Structure 1
Protein backbone atom coordinates (compact mmCIF):
# COMPACT_ATOMS: atom_id res chain seq x y z
CA UNK A 1 0.00 0.00 0.00
CA UNK A 2 1.23 3.50 -0.81
CA UNK A 3 -0.17 6.90 -0.12
CA UNK A 4 0.63 10.59 -0.40
CA UNK A 5 3.50 11.95 -2.42
CA UNK A 6 6.04 9.39 -1.19
CA UNK A 7 5.78 5.86 -2.50
CA UNK A 8 9.29 4.46 -2.04
CA UNK A 9 11.63 4.69 0.95
CA UNK A 10 15.26 3.65 0.56
CA UNK A 11 17.32 2.61 3.57
CA UNK A 12 21.08 2.49 3.82
CA UNK A 13 22.42 -0.54 5.72
CA UNK A 14 25.81 -0.05 7.39
CA UNK A 15 25.68 2.36 10.36
CA UNK A 16 22.05 3.15 9.55
CA UNK A 17 20.40 -0.18 10.37
CA UNK A 18 23.34 -1.97 12.01
CA UNK A 19 26.80 -1.30 13.42
CA UNK A 20 29.66 -1.29 10.93
CA UNK A 21 32.27 1.45 11.28
CA UNK A 22 32.92 0.49 14.91
CA UNK A 23 34.38 -2.84 13.77
CA UNK A 24 36.57 -1.11 11.20
CA UNK A 25 37.92 1.18 13.94
CA UNK A 26 38.67 -1.76 16.24
CA UNK A 27 40.50 -3.54 13.43
CA UNK A 28 42.39 -0.35 12.61
CA UNK A 29 43.55 -0.22 16.24
CA UNK A 30 44.75 -3.82 15.89
CA UNK A 31 46.56 -2.84 12.68
CA UNK A 32 48.31 0.03 14.46
CA UNK A 33 49.37 -2.23 17.32
CA UNK A 34 50.83 -4.82 14.94
CA UNK A 35 52.89 -2.16 13.16
CA UNK A 36 53.80 -0.07 16.21
CA UNK A 37 57.51 -0.83 15.72
CA UNK A 38 57.44 0.68 12.23
CA UNK A 39 55.27 3.81 12.39
CA UNK A 40 53.19 5.96 14.74
CA UNK A 41 49.41 5.33 14.75
CA UNK A 42 48.63 8.74 13.21
CA UNK A 43 51.02 8.12 10.32
CA UNK A 44 49.64 4.62 9.79
CA UNK A 45 46.08 5.90 9.72
CA UNK A 46 46.98 8.52 7.13
CA UNK A 47 48.74 5.97 4.94
CA UNK A 48 45.87 3.49 5.29
CA UNK A 49 43.27 6.10 4.37
CA UNK A 50 45.32 7.07 1.30
CA UNK A 51 45.49 3.40 0.27
CA UNK A 52 41.73 3.01 0.74
CA UNK A 53 41.09 6.06 -1.45
CA UNK A 54 43.36 4.65 -4.17
CA UNK A 55 41.84 1.21 -4.00
CA UNK A 56 38.11 1.97 -4.04
CA UNK A 57 38.18 1.89 -7.83
CA UNK A 58 39.97 -1.48 -7.77
CA UNK A 59 38.30 -3.32 -4.92
CA UNK A 60 35.14 -1.37 -4.21
CA UNK A 61 33.82 -0.84 -0.69
CA UNK A 62 33.87 -3.34 2.13
CA UNK A 63 36.01 -5.52 4.35
CA UNK A 64 37.96 -7.30 1.63
CA UNK A 65 39.18 -4.04 0.11
CA UNK A 66 39.98 -2.73 3.59
CA UNK A 67 42.04 -5.84 4.37
CA UNK A 68 43.99 -5.55 1.13
CA UNK A 69 44.61 -1.86 1.87
CA UNK A 70 45.97 -2.77 5.32
CA UNK A 71 48.34 -5.31 3.78
CA UNK A 72 49.46 -2.82 1.12
CA UNK A 73 50.09 -0.17 3.77
CA UNK A 74 52.03 -2.62 5.93
CA UNK A 75 54.29 -3.44 2.98
CA UNK A 76 54.82 0.27 2.26
CA UNK A 77 55.63 1.44 5.79
CA UNK A 78 58.06 -1.45 6.37
CA UNK A 79 59.71 -0.91 2.96
CA UNK A 80 58.85 -4.45 1.86
CA UNK A 81 60.12 -6.01 5.10
CA UNK A 82 56.82 -6.75 6.83
CA UNK A 83 57.01 -10.14 8.57
CA UNK A 84 54.76 -12.85 7.21
CA UNK A 85 53.28 -13.22 10.68
CA UNK A 86 51.89 -9.68 10.52
CA UNK A 87 50.38 -10.34 7.09
CA UNK A 88 48.77 -13.46 8.55
CA UNK A 89 47.37 -11.41 11.46
CA UNK A 90 45.89 -8.83 9.09
CA UNK A 91 44.21 -11.53 7.02
CA UNK A 92 42.85 -13.03 10.24
CA UNK A 93 41.55 -9.61 11.30
CA UNK A 94 39.66 -9.27 8.04
CA UNK A 95 38.21 -12.76 8.41
CA UNK A 96 37.09 -11.92 11.95
CA UNK A 97 35.25 -8.88 10.61
CA UNK A 98 33.52 -10.99 7.96
CA UNK A 99 32.29 -13.36 10.67
CA UNK A 100 31.18 -10.74 13.20
CA UNK A 101 27.55 -11.01 14.33
CA UNK A 102 25.17 -8.26 13.28
CA UNK A 103 24.20 -5.66 15.89
CA UNK A 104 21.07 -3.75 14.94
CA UNK A 105 21.04 -0.07 15.83
CA UNK A 106 18.32 1.31 18.13
CA UNK A 107 14.87 1.62 16.52
CA UNK A 108 16.04 0.07 13.22
CA UNK A 109 13.63 -2.85 13.15
CA UNK A 110 10.64 -0.86 14.41
CA UNK A 111 11.26 1.92 11.87
CA UNK A 112 11.54 -0.42 8.88
CA UNK A 113 8.46 -2.36 10.01
CA UNK A 114 6.42 0.83 10.38
CA UNK A 115 7.45 2.26 7.01
CA UNK A 116 6.98 -1.08 5.24
CA UNK A 117 3.31 -1.08 6.21
CA UNK A 118 2.63 2.00 4.09
CA UNK A 119 5.39 2.29 1.48
CA UNK A 120 7.65 0.25 -0.74
CA UNK A 121 10.94 -0.15 1.11
CA UNK A 122 14.25 -0.80 -0.62
CA UNK A 123 17.61 -1.56 0.96
CA UNK A 124 20.30 0.35 -0.96
CA UNK A 125 23.84 -0.41 0.15
CA UNK A 126 27.43 -0.40 -1.03
CA UNK A 127 29.99 -3.04 -0.21
CA UNK A 128 30.96 -6.60 -0.91
CA UNK A 129 28.05 -8.63 -2.29
CA UNK A 130 28.56 -11.75 -0.16
CA UNK A 131 29.16 -9.81 3.04
CA UNK A 132 26.16 -7.53 2.58
CA UNK A 133 23.94 -10.52 1.83
CA UNK A 134 25.25 -12.22 4.99
CA UNK A 135 24.56 -9.16 7.13
CA UNK A 136 21.05 -8.74 5.75
CA UNK A 137 20.26 -12.42 6.36
CA UNK A 138 21.54 -12.21 9.95
CA UNK A 139 19.75 -8.93 10.66
CA UNK A 140 16.29 -10.47 10.51
CA UNK A 141 15.11 -7.54 8.40
CA UNK A 142 15.32 -9.17 4.98
CA UNK A 143 11.65 -10.08 4.65
CA UNK A 144 10.61 -6.47 5.28
CA UNK A 145 12.20 -5.13 2.10
CA UNK A 146 10.47 -5.15 -1.27
CA UNK A 147 13.87 -5.06 -2.98
CA UNK A 148 17.58 -5.07 -2.20
CA UNK A 149 20.14 -3.17 -4.28
CA UNK A 150 23.86 -3.73 -3.59
CA UNK A 151 25.69 -1.16 -5.70
CA UNK A 152 29.31 -0.26 -6.35
CA UNK A 153 28.68 3.47 -5.82
CA UNK A 154 25.78 5.71 -4.84
CA UNK A 155 25.35 8.46 -7.41
CA UNK A 156 22.34 10.51 -8.54
CA UNK A 157 22.07 8.33 -11.64
CA UNK A 158 22.07 5.15 -9.53
CA UNK A 159 19.30 6.53 -7.32
CA UNK A 160 17.28 7.65 -10.33
CA UNK A 161 17.46 4.15 -11.82
CA UNK A 162 16.63 2.38 -8.55
CA UNK A 163 13.63 4.57 -7.77
CA UNK A 164 12.25 4.07 -11.29
CA UNK A 165 12.81 0.32 -11.04
CA UNK A 166 11.21 -0.01 -7.61
CA UNK A 167 8.80 2.89 -7.47
CA UNK A 168 7.47 5.94 -9.23
CA UNK A 169 10.71 7.81 -9.73
CA UNK A 170 12.99 9.83 -7.48
CA UNK A 171 10.50 12.66 -7.06
CA UNK A 172 8.31 10.33 -5.01
CA UNK A 173 11.14 8.67 -3.14
CA UNK A 174 13.21 9.21 0.00
CA UNK A 175 16.65 7.89 0.96
CA UNK A 176 17.49 7.44 4.64
CA UNK A 177 21.06 7.01 5.82
CA UNK A 178 24.00 8.11 7.92
CA UNK A 179 26.28 9.29 5.10
CA UNK A 180 25.86 12.78 3.67
CA UNK A 181 28.13 11.87 0.76
CA UNK A 182 26.46 8.61 -0.25
CA UNK A 183 22.93 8.60 1.14
CA UNK A 184 21.70 12.17 1.39
CA UNK A 185 23.33 14.46 -1.17
CA UNK A 186 23.07 12.22 -4.28
CA UNK A 187 19.47 11.27 -3.48
CA UNK A 188 18.52 14.95 -3.32
CA UNK A 189 20.46 15.62 -6.54
CA UNK A 190 18.43 12.83 -8.16
CA UNK A 191 15.25 14.70 -7.24
CA UNK A 192 14.28 12.79 -4.11
CA UNK A 193 14.27 13.43 -0.39
CA UNK A 194 17.43 12.86 1.65
CA UNK A 195 17.14 12.13 5.37
CA UNK A 196 20.28 12.11 7.49
CA UNK A 197 20.41 9.84 10.54
CA UNK A 198 23.68 10.63 12.33
CA UNK A 199 25.98 7.91 13.60
CA UNK A 200 28.71 8.71 16.10
CA UNK A 201 31.37 7.21 13.83
CA UNK A 202 31.81 8.15 10.18
CA UNK A 203 34.49 6.97 7.76
CA UNK A 204 36.57 9.94 6.55
CA UNK A 205 35.77 9.13 2.93
CA UNK A 206 32.04 9.51 3.63
CA UNK A 207 32.26 13.08 4.90
CA UNK A 208 30.36 15.79 3.01
CA UNK A 209 28.74 19.10 3.89
CA UNK A 210 25.08 19.01 4.83
CA UNK A 211 22.84 20.42 2.06
CA UNK A 212 21.16 22.73 4.59
CA UNK A 213 19.45 24.90 1.98
CA UNK A 214 18.02 22.03 -0.07
CA UNK A 215 14.21 21.95 0.32
CA UNK A 216 14.20 18.15 0.37
CA UNK A 217 16.84 17.73 3.06
CA UNK A 218 15.90 16.60 6.56
CA UNK A 219 17.84 15.37 9.58
CA UNK A 220 16.50 13.25 12.44
CA UNK A 221 18.16 12.24 15.69
CA UNK A 222 17.46 8.53 15.19
CA UNK A 223 15.22 6.16 13.25
CA UNK A 224 12.46 6.39 15.85
CA UNK A 225 11.56 9.78 14.35
CA UNK A 226 11.28 8.53 10.75
CA UNK A 227 7.61 7.42 10.60
CA UNK A 228 6.44 10.76 12.03
CA UNK A 229 8.67 12.67 9.61
CA UNK A 230 7.20 10.82 6.63
CA UNK A 231 3.66 11.32 7.90
CA UNK A 232 4.29 15.03 8.42
CA UNK A 233 5.68 15.52 4.92
CA UNK A 234 2.73 13.75 3.36
CA UNK A 235 0.23 15.67 5.46
CA UNK A 236 1.89 18.97 4.62
Structure 2
Protein backbone atom coordinates (compact mmCIF):
# COMPACT_ATOMS: atom_id res chain seq x y z
CA UNK A 1 0.00 0.00 0.00
CA UNK A 2 1.11 3.54 -0.66
CA UNK A 3 2.16 5.55 2.37
CA UNK A 4 -0.25 8.38 3.12
CA UNK A 5 0.69 9.27 6.72
CA UNK A 6 4.09 10.06 8.23
CA UNK A 7 4.58 10.27 11.99
CA UNK A 8 7.55 12.16 13.37
CA UNK A 9 9.15 11.89 16.78
CA UNK A 10 10.17 15.27 18.23
CA UNK A 11 13.09 15.14 20.71
CA UNK A 12 16.40 14.34 18.99
CA UNK A 13 14.60 13.70 15.71
CA UNK A 14 13.35 17.19 14.84
CA UNK A 15 15.25 19.15 17.49
CA UNK A 16 18.12 18.64 19.93
CA UNK A 17 17.17 17.51 23.41
CA UNK A 18 19.31 14.81 25.03
CA UNK A 19 22.49 16.87 25.01
CA UNK A 20 20.87 19.31 27.47
CA UNK A 21 20.20 16.40 29.82
CA UNK A 22 23.80 15.26 29.49
CA UNK A 23 25.03 18.76 30.38
CA UNK A 24 22.79 18.67 33.44
CA UNK A 25 24.21 15.28 34.44
CA UNK A 26 27.69 16.80 34.31
CA UNK A 27 26.53 19.52 36.70
CA UNK A 28 24.94 16.87 38.90
CA UNK A 29 28.26 15.00 39.08
CA UNK A 30 30.10 18.19 40.04
CA UNK A 31 27.64 18.98 42.82
CA UNK A 32 28.03 15.51 44.35
CA UNK A 33 31.74 14.98 43.63
CA UNK A 34 32.51 14.83 47.39
CA UNK A 35 30.09 11.95 47.87
CA UNK A 36 30.36 9.65 44.83
CA UNK A 37 32.52 8.94 41.81
CA UNK A 38 31.10 10.21 38.53
CA UNK A 39 30.63 6.74 36.99
CA UNK A 40 28.97 5.34 40.10
CA UNK A 41 26.69 8.34 40.34
CA UNK A 42 25.65 7.94 36.69
CA UNK A 43 24.76 4.29 37.33
CA UNK A 44 22.70 5.21 40.39
CA UNK A 45 20.88 7.97 38.53
CA UNK A 46 20.04 5.71 35.59
CA UNK A 47 18.72 3.06 37.99
CA UNK A 48 16.53 5.69 39.65
CA UNK A 49 15.22 6.90 36.29
CA UNK A 50 14.42 3.34 35.22
CA UNK A 51 12.56 2.72 38.48
CA UNK A 52 10.69 6.02 38.42
CA UNK A 53 9.65 6.37 34.78
CA UNK A 54 6.53 4.33 35.42
CA UNK A 55 5.53 6.71 38.21
CA UNK A 56 6.62 10.12 36.91
CA UNK A 57 6.59 9.53 33.17
CA UNK A 58 9.17 10.78 30.68
CA UNK A 59 10.64 14.25 30.72
CA UNK A 60 12.24 16.89 32.90
CA UNK A 61 10.14 16.49 36.04
CA UNK A 62 10.88 12.79 36.42
CA UNK A 63 14.56 13.44 35.68
CA UNK A 64 14.85 16.10 38.39
CA UNK A 65 13.05 13.95 40.96
CA UNK A 66 15.40 11.07 40.12
CA UNK A 67 18.43 13.33 40.61
CA UNK A 68 17.12 14.46 43.99
CA UNK A 69 16.39 10.88 45.06
CA UNK A 70 19.87 9.78 43.97
CA UNK A 71 21.48 12.70 45.81
CA UNK A 72 19.66 11.75 49.02
CA UNK A 73 20.71 8.10 48.72
CA UNK A 74 24.41 8.59 47.90
CA UNK A 75 24.83 11.09 50.76
CA UNK A 76 23.00 8.91 53.30
CA UNK A 77 20.37 11.64 53.57
CA UNK A 78 22.98 14.32 54.29
CA UNK A 79 22.74 16.16 50.99
CA UNK A 80 22.98 19.94 51.62
CA UNK A 81 19.85 21.98 50.95
CA UNK A 82 21.84 24.18 48.55
CA UNK A 83 22.47 21.12 46.34
CA UNK A 84 18.76 20.33 46.24
CA UNK A 85 18.13 23.95 45.32
CA UNK A 86 20.66 23.81 42.49
CA UNK A 87 19.14 20.59 41.17
CA UNK A 88 15.72 22.23 41.08
CA UNK A 89 17.28 25.21 39.27
CA UNK A 90 18.92 22.96 36.68
CA UNK A 91 15.55 21.37 36.03
CA UNK A 92 14.00 24.78 35.51
CA UNK A 93 16.83 25.57 33.07
CA UNK A 94 15.98 22.41 31.10
CA UNK A 95 12.48 23.81 30.63
CA UNK A 96 13.77 27.04 29.11
CA UNK A 97 16.52 25.97 26.68
CA UNK A 98 15.97 27.49 23.22
CA UNK A 99 15.01 25.02 20.52
CA UNK A 100 17.63 24.13 17.91
CA UNK A 101 16.36 22.12 14.98
CA UNK A 102 18.19 19.04 13.76
CA UNK A 103 19.85 19.37 10.33
CA UNK A 104 17.26 19.07 7.57
CA UNK A 105 14.25 19.09 9.90
CA UNK A 106 12.58 22.23 8.56
CA UNK A 107 13.31 21.37 4.93
CA UNK A 108 12.03 17.80 5.20
CA UNK A 109 8.84 18.79 7.00
CA UNK A 110 8.20 21.44 4.34
CA UNK A 111 8.83 18.91 1.55
CA UNK A 112 6.43 16.36 3.08
CA UNK A 113 3.66 18.77 4.09
CA UNK A 114 0.75 18.64 1.67
CA UNK A 115 1.96 15.41 0.11
CA UNK A 116 1.41 13.30 3.22
CA UNK A 117 -0.63 13.61 6.38
CA UNK A 118 1.92 14.59 9.01
CA UNK A 119 1.50 13.67 12.66
CA UNK A 120 3.85 14.66 15.49
CA UNK A 121 4.00 11.82 18.02
CA UNK A 122 6.02 12.64 21.12
CA UNK A 123 6.14 11.72 24.79
CA UNK A 124 7.15 13.72 27.85
CA UNK A 125 5.91 16.64 29.92
CA UNK A 126 2.86 18.14 28.23
CA UNK A 127 3.73 21.80 28.82
CA UNK A 128 7.38 21.31 27.86
CA UNK A 129 6.53 19.49 24.64
CA UNK A 130 4.00 22.18 23.73
CA UNK A 131 6.62 24.85 24.42
CA UNK A 132 9.23 23.17 22.24
CA UNK A 133 6.80 22.65 19.38
CA UNK A 134 5.71 26.30 19.51
CA UNK A 135 9.31 27.51 19.48
CA UNK A 136 10.30 25.14 16.68
CA UNK A 137 8.14 26.93 14.13
CA UNK A 138 7.02 23.56 12.73
CA UNK A 139 3.64 23.25 14.42
CA UNK A 140 1.48 24.55 11.58
CA UNK A 141 2.89 21.92 9.21
CA UNK A 142 1.36 19.03 11.16
CA UNK A 143 -2.12 17.67 10.60
CA UNK A 144 -2.14 16.11 14.05
CA UNK A 145 -0.28 16.51 17.36
CA UNK A 146 -0.12 13.55 19.74
CA UNK A 147 1.63 14.03 23.10
CA UNK A 148 1.48 10.65 24.84
CA UNK A 149 2.62 9.19 28.15
CA UNK A 150 4.43 6.32 26.40
CA UNK A 151 4.88 4.86 22.94
CA UNK A 152 3.49 1.35 22.60
CA UNK A 153 2.19 -0.65 19.67
CA UNK A 154 -1.39 -0.07 20.85
CA UNK A 155 -0.89 3.68 21.08
CA UNK A 156 0.56 3.74 17.55
CA UNK A 157 -2.29 1.59 16.25
CA UNK A 158 -4.85 3.93 17.82
CA UNK A 159 -3.14 7.05 16.46
CA UNK A 160 -2.68 5.74 12.95
CA UNK A 161 -6.27 4.43 12.90
CA UNK A 162 -7.33 8.08 13.10
CA UNK A 163 -5.01 8.99 10.23
CA UNK A 164 -5.63 6.44 7.49
CA UNK A 165 -4.53 3.22 9.15
CA UNK A 166 -1.19 1.73 10.20
CA UNK A 167 -0.65 -0.12 6.93
CA UNK A 168 -0.43 3.21 5.13
CA UNK A 169 1.65 4.90 7.84
CA UNK A 170 5.30 5.44 8.68
CA UNK A 171 6.96 6.47 11.95
CA UNK A 172 10.26 8.34 11.83
CA UNK A 173 12.48 8.72 14.90
CA UNK A 174 15.81 8.33 16.61
CA UNK A 175 14.74 5.71 19.16
CA UNK A 176 14.58 2.08 18.09
CA UNK A 177 12.76 1.20 21.31
CA UNK A 178 10.09 3.93 21.20
CA UNK A 179 9.79 5.12 17.60
CA UNK A 180 10.60 2.12 15.43
CA UNK A 181 9.85 -1.25 17.01
CA UNK A 182 6.36 -0.54 18.43
CA UNK A 183 5.33 1.24 15.20
CA UNK A 184 6.29 -1.83 13.18
CA UNK A 185 4.44 -4.04 15.67
CA UNK A 186 1.37 -1.87 15.04
CA UNK A 187 1.66 -2.56 11.29
CA UNK A 188 3.37 0.65 10.17
CA UNK A 189 6.80 1.32 8.71
CA UNK A 190 9.55 2.15 11.21
CA UNK A 191 12.33 4.47 10.04
CA UNK A 192 15.37 4.90 12.27
CA UNK A 193 17.31 8.17 12.08
CA UNK A 194 20.20 7.74 14.55
CA UNK A 195 21.17 10.70 16.72
CA UNK A 196 24.60 11.38 18.21
CA UNK A 197 23.27 10.94 21.75
CA UNK A 198 20.51 8.55 22.78
CA UNK A 199 19.29 8.04 26.33
CA UNK A 200 20.33 4.63 27.66
CA UNK A 201 16.72 3.61 28.35
CA UNK A 202 15.90 4.10 24.65
CA UNK A 203 18.46 1.55 23.41
CA UNK A 204 17.26 -1.59 21.64
CA UNK A 205 18.45 -4.00 18.95
CA UNK A 206 17.58 -3.04 15.39
CA UNK A 207 14.77 -5.21 13.94
CA UNK A 208 16.81 -6.08 10.86
CA UNK A 209 14.55 -8.95 9.81
CA UNK A 210 11.45 -6.75 9.60
CA UNK A 211 10.44 -5.89 6.03
CA UNK A 212 9.07 -2.53 7.14
CA UNK A 213 12.28 -1.39 8.86
CA UNK A 214 14.73 1.09 7.34
CA UNK A 215 17.64 3.16 8.63
CA UNK A 216 18.64 6.48 7.09
CA UNK A 217 21.70 8.46 8.24
CA UNK A 218 19.93 11.83 8.34
CA UNK A 219 16.49 13.32 7.79
CA UNK A 220 17.69 14.62 4.42
CA UNK A 221 17.23 11.09 3.01
CA UNK A 222 13.58 10.76 4.05
CA UNK A 223 11.89 12.32 0.97
CA UNK A 224 13.73 10.02 -1.43
CA UNK A 225 12.93 7.01 0.77
CA UNK A 226 9.26 7.95 0.74
CA UNK A 227 9.36 8.25 -3.06
CA UNK A 228 10.84 4.76 -3.33
CA UNK A 229 8.15 3.26 -1.10
CA UNK A 230 5.12 5.02 -2.57
Common topology (TM > 0.5) = yes
Q: Which runs of 5+ in 2 are unaligned?
A: none
Give the match's secondary structure for 2:16.
coil
Residue 117 of structure 2 corresponds to which residue in structure 1?
A: 120
Partner of 2:224: 228
Q: Secondary structure at the match of 1:122?
A: strand
- Give the counterpart of 1:130 among 121, 127, 130: 127
**CA–CA distance in structure 2, aligned partners of residues 100 and 202 of structure 1:** 18
Query: Where does residue 188 of structure 1 map in the other structure?
Result: 184
Give the structure-1-normalised TM-score.
Answer: 0.97
How many residue pairs end up in the alignment? 230
Instruction: Say whether residues 1:107 and 2:104 are aligned partners.
Output: yes
Shift of residue 137, structure 1, vs aligned partner: 0.2
Give the one of 196, 204, 207 matched to 1:208.
204
* Cα displacement (A) at 1:117: 2.3
Residue 88 in structure 1 maps to residue 109 in structure 2: no
Runs of 4+ in structure 1 over 4 Å off = none
Deviations 1:61-109 (A, max 9, x none): 0011100100000000001000000000000000011011001010001
Report what 2:139 is aligned to.
142
SS of the equivalent of 1:121 reads strand
TM-score by length of 2: 0.99
- 1:148 is paired with a residue whose SS is strand
* Counterpart position of 1:170: 166
Unaligned runs of 5+ in 1: none
Partner SS, residue 26 of structure 1: helix
1:116 Cα deviation from its structure 2 partner: 1.2
